[in-house]
Chain A
Amino acid sequence: MSHQYNFAYLDEQTKKMIRRTMLKAVAIPGFQVPFGGREMPLPYGWGTGGIQLTASLLGRDDTLKVIDQGSDDTVNAVSIKDFFRKTADVAITESTRAATIIQTRHRIPEIPLSEGQIMVYQVPIPEPLQFIEPRRPEAEKMHAFVEYGAMYVKLYEDIARHGRIAMSFDYPVHVNGRYIMSPSPNPKFDNPKLHMSPALHLFGAGREKRIYAVPPFTEVVSLDFDDYPFELERWKGACALCGSKKSFLDEILTDDQGTRMFICSDTEFCRRAREKEAS
């Protein structure tokens, strides 16, 4: 561990400030709480929000897992793990079950979470109304006065243009029957995992400097119309490596002729399934 930095990089006062913000967020599920985000040693867009949350949560006995697009070994995931290895020297794992804190960009693990675990999400745009109502004061009023008509207008437009609700990621959800929230760039496939989850889910947007949360066992419902209900993605076929038909699959091009293959996005899940097969 580098001795230049405080444990997990941030100073204790900052961590307290962020934890206070997290508590506020947990107290009002789905509500975006502004916080004094710090300058981090990596640019916006690389997970500074998620990193600040993790840094504030980490204790010496924690076990950290970091995934990016479901994978433990992409550049972003590896760099972040490296960062915490240097500044916090905590146990790092690829096992969802063993982790106490899981930081993610763009997926929730296939293996179900349990009570006591914390998911930390890296969020680029925390505001679900961003593209319909770019004016911040007006968007805040819409949240405050429960005026979410415009959100449904976006869904309406999708159906009018594409014959179905075309949003496949960052699909807005209604949290605890009150606030509409963006579940970050997660594919809609993962939305149901938030509903009544035993884990705590914390969302951090570094550039926008906002934190929001879904506490354990909270109702999270994806928006839809009565006659166009919410649907999960489906793939024809299964994972080419483990044969799973129930996990989120990534499409991979294997050559220049356009041959494609579907593989589980969650690398840990896929590996375990193969190991189980083999045994």
Chain B
Amino acid sequence: MDAILNIVNISKDFVFHHQQGTRLQVLENFSVKFYPSQATVLTGPSGSGKSTLLRMIYAGYRTGKGSIFVRHNDRLVDMGKADPGVIYEIRRHTIGYVSQFLRVVPRVSALDTVIEPLIARNMGESKARAKGKQMLERLRIPENLWHISATTFSGGEQQRINLARGLIAHYPVMLLDEPTASLDPENRKTVITLIREAVAAGACMIGVFHNRSDQEQIADRTLDMSGLKRRQEASA
């Protein structure tokens, strides 16, 4: 089967101009392929480039050297060089990203936050709301919280809103950065089930999970990012 994501020789460094010009090389000449219906867990210590890789795939971080090819609508697009218009489209339909923390927008209700990706895909509002409510129920968010802004929610509740939004629509590529970090065991189990359902439906999932048991339950393969410089990947 063809790879849905082909990462070719990427390098990423950060230069901190106001901290004596410190330079941090996070990835160097890194290559790897990812496939549909496969869950990959990135492992390695802090600073090994796990989150950086996810963000580069999403084009949240810029790619200086190398290419990140994603299969979008039957053509290959290099996320490092694509036009903004194409990137918006890819983020809407092809690559989904769930960060570690919810970026709360004041005044937008939890339900509206969750269904935003569906509305962006032009789904009718009542249909989207029905799906949103289902998702909120599944993640055990009490109904009295659905119509208020998540600004006052607990960390765990906010993260569940974040996850609901990230998982409500199907994406061929799903990027998850510590999705289960602030969840209790019950909700963690639900999230893992949702992820596995998505993968079974064809998604390529790439994620960072700190909990060993989560890693074991989710991963079809693991990718060890440890060591300062990455060379050719060792495939699972």
Does A touch B (CB under 8 Å) in the complex? no
Chain B residues at the A interface, C-beta cutoff of 8 Å = none
